[in-house]
Amino acid sequence: MLNFHLSITQQIAILVLQLGVIIFAARLCGNAAKKIKLPSVLGELLAGIVIGPCLLGGIGLPLHGLENGLFGIMESVQVAGETVKGSAVLENIAFQSYHSSLYAIATVGSILLLFVSGLETDLRMFIRYSIAGTLVGIGGVIFSFVFGAGVGVFMLGYDFMHPCSLFLGILSTATSVGITARILSEQKKIDTPEGVTTLAAAVIDDVLGIICLAVILGIVTVAPGSSTNWGKIGVLAAKCVGFWLIATAAGLLLAGRAAQMLKKFKSPVIYSTLAFGLALILAGFFEQQGLAMIIGAYVTGLSLSKTDVSFPLQQALEPLYTFIVPIFFTVMGMLVDIRVFVDMNVLKIGLIYSALAIAAKVIGCAVPALFMNFTPLGALRIGTGMVPRGEVALIIAGIGMTTIYDGKPVLNNDLFGVAIIMTLLTTVLAPPLLNWTLNICGKSLRKEEQDFSVIHTPFSFNSRVLTRFILDHLVANLNAEGYMLSSLDKESGVLQIRKNNLSFALTISGNELVFESNPDELPFIQALMFETIVNIHQELENLRELACPEEFQKMQLADHKDIPSENPKAFRKIMLDALSKNAIICDLQARDKDGVIRELVNSLAACGKVTDAEHCFHDVMLRESAASTCLQNGIAMPHCRTNTAKKLSLAIGISHAGYDFKALDGKPSRIFILCISPEGDTGPHIECLAAIATLLSKDGMVEKILAAKNASEIYNIFKG
């Protein structure tokens, strides 16, 4: 046991400081990685390396207990009564020995990571491509294990059955489901045959890798120099496979009852906490049975993935996931002794190991795919999609550093550095490789297949606004029926819907809602849409009886001069950020409403604030058809949200003669202010309209604008 010469309070204070620094470092580096189109896990891993004990974390601080740095290695620690000095610490004790509390928190992060990964698995999709995915996954595991273990045999001089060779082999088998799924999602290829097969194979890879890891951990327990008992290993392998299959089958069978029990607690936050508690219990149970904790976590998530609580679980656990999972990746980075990278032998082995790891996945996964109706291009896409190792390899590497064989960690600093090089390179190279193959034109399948178990039911409407309006009511009806919904993915526009064993998807594309479901779910979908439309019709009738829009519009430019503004600078900033001098027209040439709006839209397009002027004009006129935006005192404020707008933008047009735009007070309109903002944007669209209305309601403001001689004077009026 370590003798830190610190009180428990001092140790806790240091732990709190460490966590605070890790959180900031992980977030900053993770966001930086995203900005350059790389997975955030890379940034978090690099953050750990930078703040780790071999770099910034090893710089001494003038605080008690931090003389060797915030994450520094103690000059001497006591292990089993013996003193271990200086640099020998990293080579003789594992990371959790001198930062055990921090490593424990990171381990909880790895459990949550695999639990959520299991929740995100689409069982129906997995089963649909299970045969192709299984063969591809097995091929990837075999080639990767042989290539990885071969590095230990031919480059390091170990026997094939030596724990170091076995761990290098098992490290190479992992595939990062999260990284692969993110790349496929960004390319809109996640529902393609190659996309689904890649994800199914990645899951198989991880499951087989975890089982192989359990077998290898059993082999490591054999005393050095003893003969390998292959019969015992076979029994152990059968036990691992059997235990995993039985546990998974039991979990899937009991998942429905478990979900019903969890829902009795009503609050998603409460039953999500209990579900994660269940994952922790099973993770600990699996560890006690000789299997890795991450197996139990993944089985728990996989079992609950087909239930209707899976979406609320993912949503409720997201804050905890965002907090603790980056801590795991950062701590894994802190395990890296940066000094190994200056060792040319480590770099050489790492680069060769990385090249073999990439080749093993491409060859091992592409060859089986060729026999499963995929073209060479489709097989290449699958192979490159299996390249990233990511978080699973880090978990296995961490286990390798904490597993003792012959009195030493199986993976020492040098081998852990080799594993990190492989993880970094495969994760960095995977996105450009997969993007390149996905952008090559060509078919993925030799013969197109039709899935008769899934049907697509489209519903088309007249506009995006109406489509979103109907979607909101549709979601309300589904919630009223007790259905669980995933968060809407804004990029792909997909909403997953579940209740008990019923499951279907809804895709929002422009003016269309498309349901993807089993044929037996079609009657429910048709009834759902009919009732939604009827409810909307009834609500609109009630609204029409309540008042017409013009009645409310009369209040929009009421006299606000006596109403104090608590934050006038914020109002001015909204308008000035949206307004450009080049979008101010002092003498409009148009002579009718359509012409004025078109002229204002064209001015925004000329400033580069609108991507499609004609489409934008159509969206503004569609808003005008609902209710005129011509107000009182010669003012008109046409506005809309449109997907052609790059950001909140204003255009101002002046006509001294004025036009008869059927204003509320019957006066001709002379000042026209067009306001547009991106559809779906959370920016201050209505706040901007309110700020303009407040400004124009002030005494003499309209006259001052009409008296302005040029665009600069009008701009300064708004500015002042």
What are the distances in angstroms from CA 678 to CA 466, 512, 655, 692? 16, 19, 28, 19
Q: Is the pTM for the entire model greater than 0.85?
A: no
Residue 660: strand, helix, or coil: coil
Other CB atoms closer than 10 Å to residue 341's CB: what's the count?
Answer: 16
Structure tokens at 639: 């506005």
Q: Predicted confidence band at 4 (pLDDT cuts at 50, 70, 90)?
A: very low
Rounded distance between C-alpha atoms, residue 177 and residue 354, angstroms: 19
Query: Among 130-134, 136-140, 449-453, 535-539, where is mean pLDDT lowest?
Result: 449-453
Rounded distance between C-alpha atoms, residue 45 and residue 325, angstroms: 11
Higher pLDDT, residue 464 or 720: 464
Domains of the chain, CATH where assigned: 8-438 (1.20.1530.20), 455-546 (3.30.310.50), 568-719 (3.40.930.10)
Query: pLDDT by residue (tens digit) across 359-413?
Result: 999 999 999 999 988 899 989 999 998 988 866 677 788 778 778 777 788 888 7
- Give pLDDT, residue 185: 60
Higher pLDDT, residue 492 or 609: 609
Q: Where are the alpha helices (DSSP H) in 155-229?
A: 163-173, 177-186, 193-220
| Helix (H) or strand (E) segment spanning residue 597 | helix 593-606
Does pLDDT of 589 surpass 60?
A: yes
Higher pLDDT, residue 57 or 176: 57
Specify whether the CB–CB gap between 636 and 663 falls below 8 A.
yes
What one-letter code names the amino acid at 64?
A: H
Does pLDDT of 85 surpass 60?
A: no
Rounded distance between C-alpha atoms, residue 689 and residue 697, angstroms: 12
Does pLDDT of 206 surpass 90?
A: no
Q: Cα(first)–Cα(last) distance of the chain, in Å?
A: 70
Residue 15 phi/psi, 5-degree rounding, is: -60, -40
- Give pLDDT, residue 228: 57
Residue 201 phi/psi, 5-degree rounding, is: -65, -35
Angle CA 369–370–375, to nearest 5? 105
Q: Give the position of tokens 């428990």.
A: 8
Query: Among 68-72, 472-476, 565-569, where is mean pLDDT lowest?
Result: 565-569
Higher pLDDT, residue 232 or 325: 325
- Give pLDDT, residue 565: 46
Rounded distance between C-alpha atoms, residue 361 and residue 364, angstroms: 5
- Give pLDDT, residue 351: 92
Structure tokens at 417: 């550095």
> The dihedral of CA 694, 697, 702, 704: what is its sign?
negative
- Give pLDDT, residue 126: 64
Residue 233: strand, helix, or coil: helix
- Give pLDDT, residue 667: 79
Higher pLDDT, residue 193 or 584: 584
Specify whether the CB–CB gap between 518 and 451 falls below 8 A.
no
Does pLDDT of 491 surpass 80?
A: no
Rounded distance between C-alpha atoms, residue 608 and residue 101, angstroms: 54
Specify whether the CB–CB gap between 618 and 638 falls below 8 A.
no
For β-strands 494-499 and 502-509, DSSP reports them as antiparallel
Q: Predicted confidence band at 151 (pLDDT cuts at 50, 70, 90)?
A: very high
Specify whether the CB–CB gap between 576 and 719 falls below 8 A.
yes
Specify whether the CB–CB gap between 279 and 330 falls below 8 A.
no
Specify whether the CB–CB gap between 199 and 174 falls below 8 A.
no
Does pLDDT of 103 surpass 70?
A: yes
What are the distances in angstroms from CA 423 to CA 223, 298, 621? 30, 21, 54
- Give pLDDT, residue 694: 78
Q: Predicted confidence band at 659 (pLDDT cuts at 50, 70, 90)?
A: confident
Residue 683 phi/psi, 5-degree rounding, is: -70, 170
Query: pLDDT by residue (tens digit) across 240-256?
Result: 677 777 888 888 888 88
Q: What is the mean pLDDT of residues 199-224?
A: 73
Strand partners, 674: 651
Q: Predicted confidence band at 125 (pLDDT cuts at 50, 70, 90)?
A: low
Total H helices, total E strands in the chain: 27, 14
Q: Predicted confidence band at 510 (pLDDT cuts at 50, 70, 90)?
A: confident
Q: Which of 108-112, 412-416, 570-574 has maximum average pLDDT?
A: 108-112
What are the distances in angstroms from CA 601 to CA 26, 130, 266, 645? 44, 52, 50, 10
Rounded distance between C-alpha atoms, residue 622 and residue 463, angstroms: 9
Query: Among 153-162, 281-290, 616-625, where is mean pLDDT lowest?
Result: 281-290
Higher pLDDT, residue 332 or 649: 649
Query: Among 219-233, 265-279, 593-607, 656-670, where is mean pLDDT lowest?
Result: 219-233
Q: Which of 275, 359, 257, 345 is nearest to 312 (CA)?
A: 275
Plot region of 580 (φ>0 → left; ψ -120 to 50 → alpha; else → beta): beta
